[in-house]
């Protein structure tokens, strides 16, 4: 089985690569590439993302044909995809970081700044926080409710359909920290930086 981590120059993804390789332990082929032909042939796709919404969308669009290949894989061929951090945020129709930017439109919704209650809560939201599991999700199999995950973000994904939300966290308000819609999975937190619990999520994704 081929799991492709999409490399589109969106910040440092070495910890994502290392944690996937650690979990895969040579049973699964993990490859990091922006080669469209290889991505087309993948069984599962990981879309990491660090930096701003706009910078990540621009980086995706700068590789000619990449968005079309991802759309075909995910929307038409229904291959499992895991978006991490801004990788999840890009599922939205639109994001408002830096400037209004069109997202991939896979899950209707928007990405807006966390309401920090006039400075009462620090932004970015950095560090460990508990997650509340609000629906059964394949990638949270064997994960206990109120587990701690590692976050770094100032913007949140607000989906139109609340049924896609699988976990939330309390920080200033109820923030969406993961979604699941058919074959599309995303986490706002960083599973690759969330110790053994995060590795379990990666393992669940690989074993879907």
Mark whether 190 is an active-site residue. Answer: yes
The neighbour count for residue 62, using CB atoms within 10 Å, is 11
Mark whether 125 is an active-site residue. Answer: no
Identified catalytic residue from 56, 85, 125, 153: 85
* DSSP 8-state class, residue 172: S
Sort 125 into a burial class: Cβ within 10 Å, 0-12 / 13-18 / 19+.
Answer: buried
Identified catalytic residue from 97, 156, 180, 192: 192
Total H helices, total E strands in the chain: 6, 14
Q: Which residues of 162-200 are buried (b: 16+ CB within 10 A; e: fewer)?
A: eebbbbbbebeeebbbbbbbebbbbbbbbbbbbeebbbb
Distance, in Å, from the CA atom of 187 to the CA atom of 112, rounded to the nearest integer, reads 16
* Residue reference for tokens 């209650």: 117
The neighbour count for residue 84, using CB atoms within 10 Å, is 26
Identified catalytic residue from 97, 153, 180, 190: 190
Q: How far apart are the first and last CA of the chain?
A: 11
Catalytic residues: 85, 190, 192
């Amino acid at each position: 089985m081929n799991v492709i981590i999409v490399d589109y120059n969106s910040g440092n993804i070495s910890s994502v690569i290392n944690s996937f390789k650690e979990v895969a332990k040579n049973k699964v082929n993990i490859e990091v590439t922006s080669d469209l032909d290889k991505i087309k042939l993948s069984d599962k796709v990981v879309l990491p993302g660090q930096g701003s919404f706009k910078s990540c969308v621009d980086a995706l669009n700068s590789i000619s044909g990449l968005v079309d290949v991802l759309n075909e894989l995910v929307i038409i061929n229904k291959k499992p995809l895991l978006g991490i951090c801004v990788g999840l945020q890009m599922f939205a129709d639109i994001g408002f970081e830096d400037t209004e930017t069109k997202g991939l439109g896979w899950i209707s919704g928007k990405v807006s700044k966390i309401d920090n209650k006039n400075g009462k809560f620090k932004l970015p939201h950095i560090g460990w926080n508990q997650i509340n599991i609000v629906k059964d999700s394949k990638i949270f199999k064997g994960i206990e409710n109120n587990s701690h995950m590692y976050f770094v973000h100032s913007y949140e994904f607000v989906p139109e359909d609340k049924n896609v939300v699988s976990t939330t966290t309390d920080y200033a308000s109820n923030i969406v920290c993961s979604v699941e819609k058919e074959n599309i999975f995303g986490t706002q937190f960083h599973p690759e930086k969330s110790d053994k619990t995060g590795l379990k999520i990666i393992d669940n994704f690989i074993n879907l």
